[in-house]
Amino acid sequence: MIARSDLEYLNGADVYSPSGSKIGSAGQVHFDDRTGEPEWVSVRTGLFGRKEFLVPLGEATLVDERIEVPFDKDRVKGAPPIDADRDLSPADEEELYTYYGLSHGAGRLGRAPITGDAVTGEVRTQPINYHVDGGTANGKHRSS
C-alpha cells in the first residue's frame, strides 16, 4: 500500500504490472479528502507520455523505486478517460471504481467502502511532488 510518507518517491516513478512489464510513469496523485491518503495516481503512457490514465493506489506497492499495481497495461489503458489534471467528481470515482472492480469508494480491493470528503464526496488533487511537512508543491492547492 502506498502511504502519504511515500509521496516523495512517486514523482515520475515507473509503473509496472504484475507480470513485470512497464505500463508508464507516475503523474499526479489524487487524495481521499476524508483520510488524506493517496487514492489514485495518473499514469502517463504512450510516446512522450501524452496519454494519462488513473489507477487506484489501494493495492499498489512501492518496490525498488517503482510502483507495482495489480493491473496489466491493457487494463490501465482501457480505463475511462478522465482528465487527470482536475478534481475527481463522485461520478468519476464511481466510474473508476466500477471499471477496476472495486467496491464503490473502497480505495482498497475487498475492503469496506471509503468515500472522499464526507460532505461533497470529492477528492482533491495535488501535484505528485507534494511536501508532507505541510507545504504545497509550487504553492498551489487545487480544490473543488
- The answer on pLDDT for 77 being more than 70 is yes
pLDDT, tens only, 79-125: 998 887 788 888 898 899 999 998 754 444 333 333 334 334 444 44
Cβ neighbours for 75, distance < 8 A, ≥ 6 positions apart:
100
Residues 46, 27 contacting (CB under 8 angstroms): no
Q: Find out if CATH 3.90.50.10 is the number for domain 4-131.
A: yes
Beta bridge partners of 22: 16
Residue type, 71: F
Angle at 71 between CA 47 and CA 132, to 5 degrees: 80
Domain boundaries, the chain: 4-131
